[in-house]
Structure 1
Amino acid sequence: MRAETMHGYYSYLEALPNSPDRDLHEMSHGESFLALLDRKIDSPGFFCLDEPEAALSFDSTLRFLAQLMELRRAGAQVVCATHSPILAAMPDATVLEVGEWGIRETEWEELEIVGHWRRFLEAPGRYLRHLDG
């Protein structure tokens, strides 16, 4: 959820009588997102997520991946659109990549985003030299 959407949802939750979610506004965007997942997505189902990593740090993304893996073990199905090589690394996931070719099934190691991150981390200057400033 976008920060604005989350803020409105948290206000809604806080207004509910006896709400256990009165602390969400006191947390960072990423912390509140993870808390919300811990509290609300706790049983098998079908979850469709669009770039859920946007508010998350590296460590929080790993924690979120662990939550998704636990949901899957419990029988949930998850469809996740992501730019995160961390989330795309979920064991036993079917990985689909969207690009100029359309949609194709691929392996994590073959994802364009994984290649870009590897090259960037090896030598940031390769990418930074193309930026203005």
Structure 2
Amino acid sequence: MGLENINQYIRSAELRNDKITSFDRYPFCLPMVKSLKEMKFHPNVTFIVGENGSGKSTILEAIAVAYGFNPEGGTKNFNFSTASTHSDLYDFIRIVKGVKRPRNGFFLRAESLYNVASNIDKLDKEFSGPKIIDSYGGRSLHEQSHGESFLAIFMNKFTGNGLYILDEPEAALSPTRQMTMISRMHELVEKGSQFLIATHSPIIMAYPNSIIYEIKEELKVVKYEETEHYQVTKAFLNNTQKMIDILLD
């Protein structure tokens, strides 16, 4: 699967079991965390998928924070705090890095992008000199729709040779825009970028140069067609009326 590339920015994440005193409290009580030993990352794209509440965003957040990103998102230069809602799992995660360092990076969270946009506007008002928003396309993210602001970041702030950690990016994107994201992601992968993505989208997770981890009772590698997201979506689209009749009965 190509998971032994020492040139990739982040090679794996390991749970420090020796530091955990109890698996009875959150987030250590999650089956996914209990079964986690070592999670190896694809040099191009790694997907983490699973049902709501399975812990995919929790583990992605822990990896991002352990690597040095702000829990609420943004680049590693962002240090604002709106609300401390992240778990302390990051303190029990060991990140194994490759020999190369990314030139840039971004932690994109659908639920806290508003806070990132507000911080950018605030800093640009407080300080003279080059505007931060210029590297995001020059237009305030608050002046755009949720989906437009997501794409502005993808198209302008993500510039290659970067590590990009994305938590449910499909939340703001239409199916067509999700396909635009795949195209842009491929351009960035060819420019030496690496992605870690937690998603529900069977469109986004179809990207081929990747590995998919699915969370059920434990974390395991699966093929695209084996994911529950793919199977449920395919069944619904192939038998729409029958599925609707069952759901509304």
TM-score bracket for this pair, using the shorter chain length? 0.7 to 0.9
Displacement after TM superposition at 1:52 (Å) = 1.1
2:210 pairs with one of 81, 88, 93: 93
Counterpart CA distance in 2 for 1:90 and 1:118 is 17
Farther off after superposition, 46-55 or 21-30: 21-30
Residue-by-residue CA offset, 1:46-93 (whole Å, 9 max, x unaligned): 222211111100011011111211111111111111111111111221
Residue aligned with 1:94, SS: strand
Q: Percent identity?
A: 34
When the two structures are superposed, what TM-score results if normalisation uses the length of structure 1?
Answer: 0.84
Counterpart CA distance in 1 for 2:161 and 2:116 is 22
1:1-133 matches, cutoff 5 A: 1-3=109-111, 5-15=112-122, 16=124, 17=128, 18=131, 19-20=133-134, 21-100=138-217, 102-131=218-247
C-alpha distance 29-49 of structure 1, shift in aligned 2 (>3 A): same
Displacement after TM superposition at 1:131 (Å) = 4.3
Residues paired across the two proteins, number: 131
Residues 166 and 195 in structure 2, CA contact (< 8 A), matched pair in contact too: yes
Counterpart CA distance in 1 for 2:163 and 2:152 is 19
Displacement after TM superposition at 1:23 (Å) = 3.4
- The runs of 5 or more residues in structure 2 that have no matched partner are 1-108
Note the aligned Cα RMSD (angstroms).
Answer: 2.1
